[in-house]
């Protein structure tokens, strides 16, 4: 994986996200308005800062963005159900497999996480939805599972997932873990609107 010039990357991203054809989804030919922004995992901290600047810049141009950080959302869901403290307390004694299964059950993408994202999205109207924190929730939440389940519900605005890894019709988390094939999203690094 290549460490990228984030100024160039985010300038192109700003231009694409500002396009009328992107915002009104007219350039998609009926495809689901899902996009992936892959990036080198070593640039995580810089990406977080760049996303914040991008949201601000889009806002100054009248384009609203609603961001859902999957890690923050997962913590909130665990806390709301009274599991966070219990899991922290039992983490020392639980096997990795048991901890994994417990978290995956409580944060199940199809029955819990995606409905929560749908609800938050409906409550927060915006022009664009950003999904971040993908690397922080692995392996409990898988990006392809989230996208597969969201494609049936969030079609009213473009959804952009920031992905620490590569995407060429196959999601490769951190550039070395094959997440799964996902053919429905457009790679914003290679897309020119």
Q: What is the predicted pLDDT for the residue at 75?
A: 94
Q: In this model, does residue 142 exceed pLDDT 90?
A: no
Question: Which pLDDT score is estimated for 185?
Answer: 86
pLDDT band at 35 (very low <50, low <70, confident <90, very high): very high
Strands 128-132 and 65-69: parallel
Q: CB count, 10 Å around CB of 103?
A: 19
**What is residue 81's predicted lDDT score, i.e. its pLDDT?**
87
Tokens of 157: 């605005």
Residues 6-34, mean pLDDT to the nearest whole number:
92
How far is residue 53's CA from residue 10's CA, in Å, rounded to a whole number? 9
Residue-level pLDDT at 176: 67
Average of per-residue pLDDT across 15-41: 91
Percent of the chain with pLDDT over 70: 95
- Range of weakest confidence among 94-103, 107-116, 155-164: 94-103
Angle between helices 70-80 and 114-123 (to 10 degrees): 100
Q: What is the pLDDT of residue 181?
A: 61
Lowest mean pLDDT among 77-81, 103-107, 130-134, 179-183: 179-183
pLDDT at residue number 124: 94
> What is the predicted pLDDT for the residue at 155?
86
- Say whether the peptide bond before residue 139 is cis (omega within 30 degrees of 0): yes
How many H-runs (helices) and E-runs (strands) does the chain carry?
A: 9, 7
When the pLDDT of each residue in the chain is averaged and rounded to a whole number, the result is: 90
Give the start-to-end residue ranges of the domains of the chain: 6-187
So what's the pLDDT on residue 43?
A: 96
Classify burial at 172, counting beta carbons within 10 Å of its beta carbon; exposed 0-12, middle 13-18, buried 19 or more.
Answer: middle
Q: Residues for the chain: how many in total?
A: 193
pLDDT of residue 179: 57
Q: What pLDDT shows up at residue 191?
A: 84
Check whether 174 has a pLDDT greater than 80: no
């Amino acid at each position: 994986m290549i460490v990228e010039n984030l100024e160039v990357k985010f300038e192109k991203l700003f231009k694409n996200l500002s396009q009328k054809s992107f915002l009104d989804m007219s350039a998609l030919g009926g495809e689901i308005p899902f996009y992936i922004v892959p990036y080198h995992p070593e640039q995580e901290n810089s990406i977080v800062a760049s996303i914040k600047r991008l949201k601000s810049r889009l806002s100054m141009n009248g384009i609203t963005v609603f961001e859902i950080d999957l890690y923050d959302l997962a913590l909130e869901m665990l806390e709301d159900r009274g599991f966070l403290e219990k899991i922290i307390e039992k983490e020392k004694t639980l096997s990795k497999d048991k901890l994994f299964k417990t978290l995956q059950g409580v944060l199940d993408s199809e029955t819990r996480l995606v409905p929560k994202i749908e609800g938050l999205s409906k409550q927060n109207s915006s022009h664009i939805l950003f999904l971040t924190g993908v690397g922080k929730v692995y392996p409990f939440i898988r990006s392809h599972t989230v996208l597969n389940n969201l494609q049936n519900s969030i079609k009213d605005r473009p959804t952009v997932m920031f992905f620490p890894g590569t995407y060429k019709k196959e999601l490769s988390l951190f550039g070395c873990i094959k997440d799964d094939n996902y053919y429905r999203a457009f790679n914003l690094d290679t897309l020119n609107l």
